[in-house]
Structure 1
Amino acid sequence: MKLRIKLLSATAICAATTAGAVDLEVMHWWTSGGEANAVAKFAEAWTATGNTWVDGAIAGGGDTARPVMVSRIIGGDPPAAFQFNHGRQAEELIEAGLLLDLTDVAEAEGWADIVNPSSLLDACTVDGRIYCAPVNIHSWQWMWLSNAAYENAGLAVPTTWTEFAESAPALQEAGLTPLAMGGQSWQQNGAFGVMALALAGEEAWLSVNRDKNAETVMGPEYTRVFEAFGAAREFSDGLNVQDWNQATAAVINDTAGAQIMGDWAQGEFAMAGEVAGEDYSCLPGLGEVAILDTGGDAFYFPKQDDPEIEAGQKELAAMLLSPEVQVSFNSAKGSLPVRGDVDLTSVNECTQKGLDLLANGNIVPNGESFLAPDTISQLNDLMTEFWNTPAMTAAEVQEQYSDIIASAE
């Protein structure tokens, strides 16, 4: 506790004194086993302050939860806090003046000095004011592999996407699904984004996502990605699941060889008692490039007409970035902490790979920080249509993808 007391600013301490014991409803979409275990770390820490965490979990993931949260806010019945991803998802709420300005908390807590990479705090900043508390660094750029699945098939565990693609037919002959893929559209588009960065390279990926260059989409680097993604459709035959964690379970249960999914999948492996390097392997950048994108989650706080609630909101914002909360939450979540000054020497080898890449600066911003929500929705719809329509060719989806990027904001 001494460390937390030292780091909590006068503002946060004052907020705690003013607020007393408050009940704060916190909305989020962390409902899988690993996610629920992680968010419980926040709830436990908040309860330990004498306050009450009113859990507002919404099943179904962000695409289901975000509209519910926005409806509550604009309908005049806002929660005290809600989870969104880093990026542009809250722009309209900020522009409408519906969210609490956290700049005083951020300045008092020194977030500008401790949040690493700084792009995470930049994603919370609009017109020089800070509107959210970033709580973790998640990266999509991972492939998770079942060591036992490969051993049972008499195969070596792949170390690159190329090796994985070459091994896929042998896995299928052994009665295994090479690539576990859930049915939600964000999973297909997310996997495509991972393959784009790994196979087309950083320069081409930035040209498309940051610069909205439709010509790059039609170029040879991205042609390779669309063709590889088209071939990958056949790798998922035999597995019919909807949620991402169900696909992760297929890897955990050794019925699937691999899954492309963000590092939040590690929470599921941990809950199942799986050990990184023994039961499962991990390939950042699909083993093709040593790079991560830095996305993740942040909490926003709707404005409330109650000084005690507002004081409690600011106390909670400060607590979410406190050292011990950062360690306990991110260790359970499988993500990296946003603080660059916490001790994570006990993390597993996959998390250590991520920390090493972060420390070496082998990172790019998350693609969602460049693209408007409407553009992401269009790409989600397109890539899930392609994934589920074998007759649709790589050239056809490439052309449509290019059109969306050409008109992207």
Structure 2
Amino acid sequence: MNFRRIAILLTAGVALPLGAAQATDLEVTHWWTSGGEAAAVAELAKAFDATGNKWVDGAIAGSGGTARPIMVSRITGGDPMGATQFNHGRQAEELVQSGLMRDLTDVATKENWKEIVRPASLLDSCTIDGKIYCAPVNIHSWQWLWLSNGAFEKAGVAVPKNWDEYVAAAPALEKAGIIPLAVGGQPWQSAGAFDVLMVAIAGKDVFHKVFKDKDAEVAAGPEIAKVFKAADDARRMSKGSNVQDWNQATNLVITGKAGGQIMGDWAQGEFALAGQVAGKDYTCLPGLGVNEIISTGGDAFYFPVLKDEEKSKAQEVLASTLLNPATQVAFNLKKGSLPVRGDVDLAAANDCMKKGLDILAKGNVIEGTDQLMSPDSQKQKEDLFSEFFANPSMTPEDAQKRFVDIIASAE
């Protein structure tokens, strides 16, 4: 073995004997297909391949809403992959309860995941009946407003510092032929934007009362009415987006065709791929510049139960590799997300990532709605806001009534 190969293995931080002795191909399914996402996935594949195994990429085009049913169908249908992405939360709960997902408790205990994974809620989301069933890989926060500095310069107005200034600048953007707010047509985008508006305008306590406590009375109250008013402003500002995928909406901001986008920190990967610099070419406002709180959603990998002994051992290697410090840094710098390890060096982080790290360090965090609500309740919410953003005749009052019904029956 040459010295270059040894150096790669040492950089990956994975023990050579385990990786080399059980070398095999392992299919990994995920829905990371945008340019920035693909660059991040390549870092995971490189780290796993350095163990002597081979990452067989099973990317599924589209959003998680498109990919998850395919993944679940394969697992329940007897054609499991080696590992698969799900979001932090309850998306794999039924698969675990059916005995179809592998218990990773031994790996997690051996590598002290409970000591290194922060916040603890991420590993809690992987834990069912005291056993750990997934390897969290990142912290993705939804609560960001991404602004094109060039678009506001063209419109002759200052780059907004908060949501109210942004709404006030919308007419100037429209006059300059710029879409004020880019929103793609996928239902999760409009539903996510509403959740972000709720945290920014109504605050953390109200957010928890609605999504964690399922308090229908609060959902029907005046604080949420203010959020629906803001959602109505967002709907008006997004008229003319005419794109479907989230990264297409991000590209409108990158190219200055749109003034801004409410989107999770994964948008950073697209800005980075386009060579744009945070603070120079674009501005990021956590909590919409109103309430600097971030959610600790994100992604984890689950490992279906396999009959093949070599592939089962390779699963353990992959789980370990995903939490390896070097892998965590390389992947998250490309993905735009924060690492799940609290002990890694992110000196290379850009201005926006540093803002997120600072908020995380202060503990100004909330759980993502994927962690607080069942997939069925999430789907109902997505359907509502997809219709709300697409149908101007639906009043905020009518939409709020439907929202209350969803919360009242939510699981």
- Fold shared by both chains (TM-score > 0.5): yes
Q: Please give the alpha-carbon distance, in whole angstroms, between the structure 1 residues aligned to 2:78 and 2:124.
A: 28
Q: Please give the alpha-carbon distance, in whole angstroms, between the structure 2 residues aligned to 1:108 and 1:4.
A: 20
Give runs of aligned pairs for residues 9-88 of structure 1, distance below 5 A.
Answer: 15-16=18-19, 18-19=21-22, 21-88=23-90
Residue 189 (structure 1) aligned to one of 188, 191, 204: 191
The answer for the alignment partner of 1:124 in structure 2 is 126
User: Contact between 2:20 and 2:53, CA under 8 Å: does it hold in 1?
Assistant: no
User: Contact between 1:143 and 1:283, CA under 8 Å: does it hold in 2?
Assistant: yes
**Secondary structure, aligned partner of 1:270:** helix
Deviation at 1:238, TM superposition (A): 2.1
**Are 2:275 and 1:295 equivalent residues in the alignment?**
no
Residue 394 (structure 1) aligned to one of 393, 396, 404: 396
Runs of 4+ in 1 over 2 A off after TM superposition: 1-9, 12-18
What fraction of aligned residue pairs are identical, expressed as a percent? 59
Q: How many residue pairs are counted as aligned between the two chains?
A: 406
The answer for the alignment partner of 2:248 in structure 1 is 246
Q: Please give the alpha-carbon distance, in whole angstroms, between the structure 1 residues aligned to 2:92 and 2:16.
A: 28
The answer for the alignment partner of 1:173 in structure 2 is 175
Q: Please give the alpha-carbon distance, in whole angstroms, between the structure 1 residues aligned to 2:369 and 2:204.
A: 12
What per-residue deviation string (whole Å, max 9, x for no partner) do you get for residues 8-34 of structure 1? 79xx77743552x11000000000000
Give runs of aligned pairs for residues 207-226 of structure 1, distance below 5 A.
Answer: 207-226=209-228
Q: Please give the alpha-carbon distance, in whole angstroms, between the structure 2 residues aligned to 1:128 and 1:4.
A: 33
Give runs of aligned pairs for residues 304-343 of structure 1, distance below 5 A.
Answer: 304-343=306-345
Task: Report the CA distance shift for 1:108/1:232 in structure 2 as closer, same or farther (over 3 A).
Answer: same
**Secondary structure, aligned partner of 1:259:** strand
Gaps of 5+ in 1: none
Q: Please give the alpha-carbon distance, in whole angstroms, between the structure 2 residues aligned to 1:4 and 1:406.
A: 52
Q: Which amino acid aligns with 1:404?
A: I
What's the TM-score, normalizing by structure 2? 0.96
**Secondary structure, aligned partner of 2:321:** helix
Deviation at 1:3, TM superposition (A): 12
Task: Report the CA distance shift for 1:50/1:6 in structure 2 as closer, same or farther (over 3 A).
Answer: closer
What's the RMSD between the two structures over aligned residues?
1.6
**Are 2:389 and 1:405 equivalent residues in the alignment?**
no
What per-residue deviation string (whole Å, max 9, x for no partner) do you get for residues 124-175 of structure 1? 0001000000000000000100000001111100010011011111111111
Q: Please give the alpha-carbon distance, in whole angstroms, between the structure 1 residues aligned to 2:290 and 2:261.
A: 16
Gaps of 5+ in 2: 1-5
User: Contact between 1:7 and 1:109, CA under 8 Å: does it hold in 2?
Assistant: no
Task: Report the CA distance shift for 1:145/1:229 in structure 2 as closer, same or farther (over 3 A).
Answer: same
**Secondary structure, aligned partner of 2:56:** strand
Q: Which amino acid aligns with 1:240?
A: N
User: Contact between 2:9 and 2:50, CA under 8 Å: does it hold in 1?
Assistant: no
User: Contact between 2:135 and 2:301, CA under 8 Å: does it hold in 1?
Assistant: yes
Give runs of aligned pairs for residues 375-394 of structure 1, distance below 5 A.
Answer: 375-394=377-396
Q: Please give the alpha-carbon distance, in whole angstroms, between the structure 1 residues aligned to 2:91 and 2:32.
A: 17
